[in-house]
Amino acid sequence: MIIRLKKNISDVEVQKIVSFFTDKGLQIKDASSDNVKVFGIIGDTSAIMENDVYAFDGVESLTRIQVPFKKASKLMNPKPTVIDVCGVKIGGGSFVVMAGPCSVESREQIISVAKSVKASGAQILRGGAYKPRTSPYAFQGLELEGLDLLLEAKKETGLPIITEIQSEDLIPRFVKDVDIIQVGARNMQNFHLLKALGKIDKPILLKRGLSATIEEWLMAAEYILAGGNNKVILCERGIRTFEKYTRNTLDLSAVLAVRELSHLPVIVDPSHSSGKWSMVPDLSKASLAVGADGLIIEVHNNPECALCDGAQSLKPEKFDQLMTDLKKIAPIVGKKIA
């Protein structure tokens, strides 16, 4: 529910309205600007009668929000959310590229790739320390050793790091050392993890689940937002369809849908969505063209020997050419690559 107040409303009247809602266990979000005073009411407002609200002299209008994702809704927060990650702005017209290997394999590998992607223009280093895999026999990542190596690469290059978290017990270490905590597609509806991440002050990149609807994806974001953490970045990484030629099916319409429904920034993962390195450049350009706020791309210095997802990883020289192309396209579509 959105309440618009009259311009000349007194502080006393404002407090009466606030108390009316808070006494019923509802939350108030102040979404006011210089020109208008607006309150967003968070919670189950179905029992609130419009006549009761209009009984307050200072209320100008009332609008009910029909979507279940209140905090993620653009109706509640019409201005695009911009998230600052160590000086890198995500959202609000910028286009951010996160790049690096699917998994951290060795010190030499991660530092080599980190230096390479930075030289090409990537602003954030990605790398998997923990790797959730379909098969229990597949490489599961170097875990904490991998995180230590990511920190070395950050020290060498100055790039902020993003890596995926697997469970709640890792949160203290991730809060300490990771700049963006990634929630993978398999964990998108791990609600206990999402609730715990809602209690911290750290950017969260939330990947869309393998078969999740857009509403389910935004409701997962709502769990984090409801906990008090407003730093949520959405990531479209392809969904499971009947098509088997590609690893997943990239849903670029989801980028447009999120922009219509939500204020949260949304980026695209062209690597996992296609599973084929040859498709990554054109899918990346298409993502920029439809208005995504960035990309997360897999880059490996020796993909033929990669321990994880080599088939979808760009070699450094291919990534460098892609960055050159993206920088040419960005101004045409009103985006800026730092």
Q: How far apart are CA 161 and CA 156, in angstroms?
A: 12
Residue type, position 159, single letter: L
52 CB-contact burial (10 Å; exposed 0-12 / middle 13-18 / buried 19+): exposed
Per-residue pLDDT at 45: 87
Note the residue count of the chain: 338
- The CA-based diameter of the chain, rounded to the nearest angstrom, is 70
Helices 107-120 and 316-329 meet at what angle, rounded to 10?
30
Q: Give the mean pLDDT per block of 10 residues along the chain (338 residues).
A: 92 94 92 87 86 93 88 91 98 97 96 98 96 79 93 98 96 98 97 98 98 97 96 98 97 98 98 98 98 98 93 98 98 92
In this prediction the pTM is 0.89
Interior CA angle at 235 toward 244 and 111, to 5°? 95
Per-residue pLDDT at 31: 85
> Strands 2-5, 37-42: parallel, antiparallel or unpaired by DSSP?
antiparallel
Query: 213 by DSSP, 3-state: which?
Result: coil
> Strands 124-126, 96-100: parallel, antiparallel or unpaired by DSSP?
parallel
Could you give all domains of the chain from N- to C-terminal order, each with its CATH number?
Answer: 2-63 (3.30.70.1140), 83-333 (3.20.20.70)
| Residue that the structure tokens 């980026």 belong to | 267
Per-residue pLDDT at 246: 97
Assign residue 317 a region (left: φ > 0; alpha: ψ between -120 and 50; beta: otherwise). Answer: alpha
Q: How far apart are CA 194 and CA 196, in angstroms?
A: 5
Helices 107-120 and 144-157 meet at what angle, rounded to 10?
40
**H/E element, 150:** helix 144-157
Q: How far apart are CA 232 and CA 71, in angstroms?
A: 11
DSSP per-residue letters across 44-106: --TT--HHHHHTSTTEEEEE---SS-TTTBTTT--SPP-EEETTEEESTTB-EEEEE-SS---
Assign residue 96 a region (left: φ > 0; alpha: ψ between -120 and 50; beta: otherwise). Answer: beta
* 137-175 burial: b if 16+ Cβ within 10 Å, else e: eeebbbeeebbebbeebbebbebbbbbbbbeeebbeebe
Per-residue pLDDT at 22: 94
DSSP per-residue letters across 273-323: HH--GGGHHHHHHHHHHTT-SEEEEEB-S-GGG-SS-GGGPBPHHHHHHHH
Q: In terms of Cα–Cα distance, which of 210, 292, 200, 298 is closest to 254?
A: 292
